[in-house]
Amino acid sequence: MSNEIPRKTPMDSISLKQFRDNLQDCIDRVINRHDPLKVTGQSGSDFIVIGVEDWEEIQETLYVLQNTDLMQQIARSFDTHRNSQGYQPSSEETDEILGV
């Protein structure tokens, strides 16, 4: 198993005029595909359009990554899991968790 983080393709980019002319389509695309859109304005006034759900996920990820105690807890939990030393739920508990 590789620990490499998959790289995303470069963000799509459109001109400000294209963005204005196709505003609803651009918004639908950003929300439905969960991909931000770079809008290039004149004289370097570029900006990014991103859905609220995606923005909140990014903020949550940044919070976790910046929280040293939480990252240490995640690392310890990963080690416990990797060494099969963690809590093993019963079949009934697993069924309940999975809604079976």
| pLDDT tens readout for residues 79-91 | 888 888 878 888 9
Radius of gyration in angstroms for the set of CA atoms belonging to the chain, rounded to a whole number:
21
- Closest to 20 measured CA to CA, from 40, 34, 6: 40
Amino acid 85 reads Q
- Give the pLDDT score at 34: 93
Answer yes or no: pTM beyond 0.95.
no
- Give the pLDDT score at 82: 87
33 belongs to a structural domain: yes
Structural domain tally of the chain?
Answer: 2
3 belongs to a structural domain: no
Q: Which residue has the higher pLDDT, 3 or 57?
A: 57
Per-residue pLDDT of 32-55, as tens digits, reads 999 999 999 888 889 999 999 999
What span, in angstroms and rounded, lies between the C-alpha atoms of 31 and 52?
A: 8
Domain containing 40 equals 9-50
95 belongs to a structural domain: no
Section 48-67 average pLDDT: 94
Domain match, 38 and 62 both: no
